[in-house]
Structure formats: structure tokens, C-alpha cells
Structure 1
């Protein structure tokens, strides 16, 4: 079974999906960061405070990583569709 070939329509569809996921994760990251900033940790135990800060940093960092990955994928798929269109324009097939 062969893999389907890349077409500009498939690339742009994937770019729209990845861009939408990137935008949603961006907004989620902002909401989480705002929520963490507005709710301070109220404990006098240093261990609990350190664990809370570490978990908050991890959650915001993972959301930011997801945002970056999906955004880069979207930009890459748009660039791939432009490359495919450019190759078709420069080298038309002789059918």
C-alpha cells in the first residue's frame, strides 16, 4: 500500500487544522497563565510551594510547546503547498 501523494489542497487543509489547533492552544495557554497569576499559592510549607510552582511551570510550558509545534507545522505545510505549486508551474507535466 502506497502513501497518498501530497497535493496543495491536502497541505492547505492540514495547515488550517494545525493553525486552528495552534490558535486554540495559544488562547488556552493565556487563560491558564492568567488563572495561575491571579490565584496565588497560599501555603507556608516550602515543599508544597516548590511543587506547586514546578507543576504550574510544567503546565504552562507544555501548552506553550504545543502551541509552537502546531504553529510551525502549519507554516511548514503552507510552505510545502507553495513549493508543490511552484514545481508544477516551473515543470509542467507532459501528459
Structure 2
């Protein structure tokens, strides 16, 4: 009655070979995400610039400045990572495409 239902594990991982179409599709998706995050970053930075801090306390100025910088920096880091992934996948897709062309030429 209190015995757990044990299901057999099916840990079968299959390695899928990379091909140019998969790489370019991934590059397009990553580039789109990078552009979306970049647009979000510009919107956040503009919003912060248009709404100044209304306080005379220097500690409030320093903390809010640090938080604003941190938010824009983290979003910018995400933009850069997705952009680099998009470029890397595009380069890999081009490399695989050239390898397929030279393999069919030599065969």
C-alpha cells in the first residue's frame, strides 16, 4: 500500500549530428532573442533616464544608481551572450556547409 510505484528509467540519449540547417535555424532564433533583449535594454535605460531620482540623501542616490546600473548591465550581458551564440552557430553552419561541399567534391 505504501510502496512507491517504480517506473523503469529510460535513459536513452541519442546524439544528433549537427547539420547546417539546424545551425542556421538556431542562429536565427538566438539572433531574434538577442534583438528582443536589446530592445528591452534600450527601453529600460530610456525609462531610467526619463525618471530621475527624487531624493537629497546621498545613500539613496548611490544605491539607486548601483541598482539601475546592475539591471541594465545584466540585460546587456544577456544581449551579448545571445548575440555571440547566434554568430557562433552561423559560423558553425557555414563551416559544416563547406565541409559537405568538399566531401561531395572529393567523393
- Partner residue in 2 for 1:21: 33
User: What does the per-residue CA deviation read over 1:15-34, in whole Å, with 9 as the maximum and x for residues that have no partner?
Assistant: 11100100001100100000
Q: How does 1:1-95 map to 2 (within 5 A)?
A: 1-92=13-104
Aligned CA RMSD, in angstroms, stands at: 1.3
Unaligned runs of 5+ in 1: none
User: What does the per-residue CA deviation read over 1:51-84, in whole Å, with 9 as the maximum and x for residues that have no partner?
Assistant: 1000000000011111111011101111100000
Question: For 1:8 and 1:91, how far apart are their aligned partners in 2?
Answer: 14
Q: Which runs of 4+ in 1 moved over 6 A?
A: none
Question: For 2:89 and 2:54, how far apart are their aligned partners in 1?
Answer: 45
Q: Which has the higher helix share?
A: 1
TM-score by length of 2: 0.83
TM-score by length of 1: 0.93
Larger Rg computed on CA atoms: 2
Unaligned runs of 5+ in 2: 1-12
